[in-house]
Chains A and B, each alone.
Chain A
Amino acid sequence: MKFLTRINRNYLILFSAVLMAVTVADYFVLHLVIMHGAREKLIAREILVRQHILNTGEIPNLHPEVEVSESSGEPANVPLFREVTVFNPVENENEMYLEYSDIININDTWYSVKLRQALLENEDLILILALTIFILLSAAFIVSYFITRKTNTTVWADFEHNLHEIESFRLNQVSKINLVGSDTEEFMRLNRVISDLTEKLSSDYRALKEFTENASHEIQTPLTAALMNLEEILQDNLQEETFRKVTATIRSLKRLSSLNQSLILLTKIENRQFEPDTMVSLLETAKKKAEEFSAFIETGELKLKISNEGDFTVSMNSQLAEILIGNLLSNAINHNIKGGEINLSVNTGCFEICNTGQPNQLSDDTIFDRFTKGTLGSSGLGLAIARKICEIHSLDIHYRKSEFHCFYIQHKS
């Protein structure tokens, strides 16, 4: 849920509750006040009636509001307020009244006085008042809701923009992260922290990138010069022993060079210098690599079988995908036995490559480690690179030993 939605929702719930409570309380308070007023009015009216009788000797009678009659008895249980229903002949219906009954003594005569005040009007008034307040408050709330929302969008607009900026931030892009300034203190602090962090990240990234490029250049160039000179020495008519020494030296230098390249590749992958650029079909990549390696497969008299139910696709850098599959396939070829098998099976959730081969002491824990080698003179980096590629693409790669040596790739659960 969005930040503002959450605030607005809380605001709405809280306000509704308060509004209900205020309206109900308001109703009761008004009720009390008005009833109190009605009572006072009736008592005041009684004084008027008394005055009237004293002055004129006439007994007023205004049904249903004023009823006075001579009473025979002593006063008891008076004065008394109660609510009564009286038939109103004018409106031809029963109405609720607040009745004040009293027995008063005027010039030694006892009068029973019943004064009434219609309740219905009061009740209506209370309702109208309560409703008015309800409407006013609601209107105020709605207006303030929209005002807050409007200000919120303006206040948070920069934040939204910056958030978007951070989301689209890529280490390998040249441009710096472009945060919009804000006069809100918290946002300013946030911006400062983010700017510092991304700058640090970028400079680390650049430093490592430069290092890998320079390391590659600085090491490969003299190696190339050495190899070329050795190649030229080979052209002289050499004794067999010398010739073998030179070719052995060439081989060692080549190993050194490819080792350096592999280590640099590993560093580049770790530094995430390869952006995912496409949806890669591992099945298609495997078919392509199998085609490229066909000469090696034929030489080993290997039987390659590719079976699939659906395809395993993953968003990754196509170059890395080829390296990954290439390394696994060449591993399966190089550590095979003459006339052995390679079985490649692909489905939507798993890519598996199995090959026959000599038994080894390696396990899932150790086989991917750098410089863990089988019997052949490989660099021991191919599987480490494969694992690193899987790692940065949220893939799991494992090794399983049974009749076959199997490597399988799955999406990280």
Chain B
Amino acid sequence: MKVLIIEDEVDLLIAISNFLTKEGFVCELAENFFKAGEKLAIYEYDIILLDISLPDGNGLKLLDPVREFQKLAGVIIISARDSIDDKIRGLDLGADDYMTKPFHLSELNSRIKALLRRKQFDGTDTVTFNEITVGTSGRSVSVNGVPVILTRKEYDLLLYFIVNRERVLTKEAIAEHLWEDNIDMADNFDFIYTHLNNIRKKIRLAGGTDYIKTIYGTGYKFSDR
């Protein structure tokens, strides 16, 4: 999978590309409008991450060459502006998703994977982890073929864990994934325990293993090691 990252803040560019390389993507980088335009016209990408505040032009304008040359690519806008107008404009111009800075790498990962599934690049809409299978189009979960009924939040949480397997996830990152905009109100994250415990219970009841590991009481990791 080939990803083009368009972002003018070099530290951010490197952090994202290191992470995505580790996740198995081939990353190309463009730190300005001009370079991005060039690359878009020459190469083909599966995923394009687009910062809209670039020093030499408005990133939204790059959506024109994207529509022209990158018909199959999925586009995720990453912007520091959280104005609804920008969001709507970006999506109207053909972007598939919009993320407001700051965001977690695990969140970026789960959005990219969701986009790939939606675009059917993986050729499948199921995500599996050992005995656990998640059917993303029907939002179904099964353990060794035994269906498990989860609530919407529990399902979201499980999928987030599986997509970000073997990664330490902070409670903040989890809460943000589940509640996006409303997260600023959550000073304590007790509500996450409830969801986690329900998932653990339901998976175990269906004969599965509890892969959710607690790291020093403040983080979690979905791991079979």
Residues of A within 8 A of B (CB): 213, 216-225, 227-229, 231-232, 234-235, 240, 243-244, 247, 250-251, 253-254, 257-258, 261-262, 292-293, 295-296, 298-300, 319, 326, 330, 333-334, 376-379, 382
Contacts and interface: CB of A to CB of B under 8 A. Distances in A.
A243 B218 contact: yes
A170 to B, nearest CB: 15
Interface stretch (B62-70, B118-126, B142-150, B185-193): B185-193
B140 interface: no
Nearest to B84: A319
Contacts of B12: 221-222, 224-225, 228
Interface string B120-144: 0000000000000000000000000
B151 to A, nearest CB: 10
Contact of A224 (B19, B81, B101): B101
A250 B16 CA distance: 17
8 contacts: A227-B102, A228-B16, A228-B19, A229-B15, A232-B15, A243-B218, A298-B194, A376-B187
Contact of B184 (A240, A247, A251, A258): A258
B168 interface: yes
Interface string B75-91: 00000111010000000
Residue from B11, B80, B190, B194 whose CB has the most chain A CB atoms within 10 Å: B80
Contacts of A234: 168, 170, 219
Contact of A295 (B18, B102, B153, B184): B153
A229 B15 CA distance: 6
Interface stretch (B34-42, B103-111, B201-209): B103-111
B32 interface: no
Interface in B9-24: 9, 11-12, 15-16, 18-19
B194 A299 contact: yes
B196 to A, nearest CB: 12
Contacts of B15: 225, 228-229, 232
B9 A225 contact: yes
B105 A228 contact: yes
A290 to B, nearest CB: 12
B104 A227 contact: yes
Contacts of B16: 228
Given A232-B18, A293-B182, 13 more contacts: A217-B81, A222-B9, A222-B12, A223-B102, A224-B12, A224-B80, A225-B11, A232-B105, A235-B168, A243-B219, A292-B182, A295-B179, A377-B187
Contacts of B167: 235
Contacts of A229: 11, 15
B219 A247 contact: yes
Contacts of B101: 220-221, 223-224
